[in-house]
């Protein structure tokens, strides 16, 4: 059975069949996440999913972004161990808590401060774009916003802290 995964395409969350297999195929041949790969990813995904003509550009951008994260994550795990910090928070499995940074790359000037500051390797530094990528979102320490504080461009955002208030009391 093919994998199924949800990704952000434009402003919509879209479920895609076979994404993991397509990414695995390109990773095996060590295909780098270059701009040209976007069209190839789209063509493979279209064999397994319906993509309307007017949404193709958004799909291409989203697939390339996801592949870049996938590629970097797999490559970086070979070289260095990624620190795992919290398995649970207030008794709730860490992966069920949507607490992690989102980087607005159009605001980011590439100063690298967020990347240097994070103790838990949430970020990977993408030398191609010279911007940070959030590759290990659930390594983020619940409640920490240090990288958002240090970012002078307000390019790093977090959900409101009140989402943490009722955790563990449901
Ligand atoms: S601190 Fe802000 S401006 Fe600097 S690299 Fe991180 S996101 Fe970009
Ligand atoms: S909030 Fe803290 S733990 Fe989370 S990514 Fe930023 S510096 Fe790292």
Domain 88-164 sits in CATH 3.40.50.300: no
For the chain, 170 residues long, the average pLDDT of each consecutive 10-residue run is: 87 91 93 87 96 95 87 64 73 92 95 90 90 91 89 93 80
First to last CA, the chain: 35
Contact indicator for 90, 168 with CB cutoff of 8 Å: yes
Predicted local distance difference test score (pLDDT) of residue 79: 47
Predicted local distance difference test score (pLDDT) of residue 76: 60
Predicted local distance difference test score (pLDDT) of residue 107: 96
Contact indicator for 89, 70 with CB cutoff of 8 Å: no
Distance from residue 123's CA to the centre of ligand 1 (Å) = 11
Return the ligand number nearest the Cα of 136: 2
Please return the burial class of 68, using the count of CB atoms within 10 Å of its CB with bins 0-12, 13-18 and 19+.
buried
87: tokens are 């398995």
149: tokens are 């504080």
CA distance 141 to 137: 9
Q: Residues lining ligand 2, judged by CB closer than 6 Å?
A: 101, 117-118, 120, 122, 140-141, 144-147
**φ, ψ (nearest 5 deg) of residue 113:** -60, -40
Residue 102: how many other CB atoms lie within 10 Å: 13
Q: Please name the residue whose Cα sits nearest to atom 1 of ligand 1.
A: 151
**φ, ψ (nearest 5 deg) of residue 64:** -65, -40
101 touches ligand 1 (CB under 6 Å): no
Distance from residue 72's CA to the centre of ligand 2 (Å) = 19
Domain boundaries, the chain: 4-79, 88-164
Distance from residue 99's CA to the centre of ligand 2 (Å) = 10
Distance from residue 152's CA to the centre of ligand 2 (Å) = 15
Distance from residue 49's CA to the centre of ligand 1 (Å) = 35
Please return the burial class of 168, using the count of CB atoms within 10 Å of its CB with bins 0-12, 13-18 and 19+.
exposed
CA-based torsion, 133, 52, 41, 130: positive or negative: negative
């Amino acid at each position: 059975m093919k994998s199924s995964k949800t990704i952000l395409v434009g402003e919509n969350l879209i479920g895609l069949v076979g994404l993991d297999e397509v990414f695995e195929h390109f990773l095996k041949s060590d295909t780098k996440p270059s701009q040209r790969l976007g069209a190839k990813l789209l063509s493979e995904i279209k064999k397994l999913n319906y993509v309307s003509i007017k949404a193709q550009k958004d799909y291409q951008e989203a697939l390339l972004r996801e592949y870049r994260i996938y590629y970097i994550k797999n490559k970086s795990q070979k070289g260095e161990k990624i620190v795992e910090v919290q398995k649970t928070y207030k008794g709730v499995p860490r992966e069920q808590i949507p607490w992690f940074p989102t980087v607005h790359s159009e605001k980011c000037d590439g100063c690298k401060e967020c990347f240097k500051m994070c103790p838990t390797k949430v970020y990977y530094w993408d030398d191609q774009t010279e911007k940070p990528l959030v590759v290990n979102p659930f390594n983020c320490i619940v409640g920490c916003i240090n990288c958002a504080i240090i970012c002078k461009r307000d390019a790093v955002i977090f959900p409101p802290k009140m989402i943490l208030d009722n955790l563990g009391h449901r």
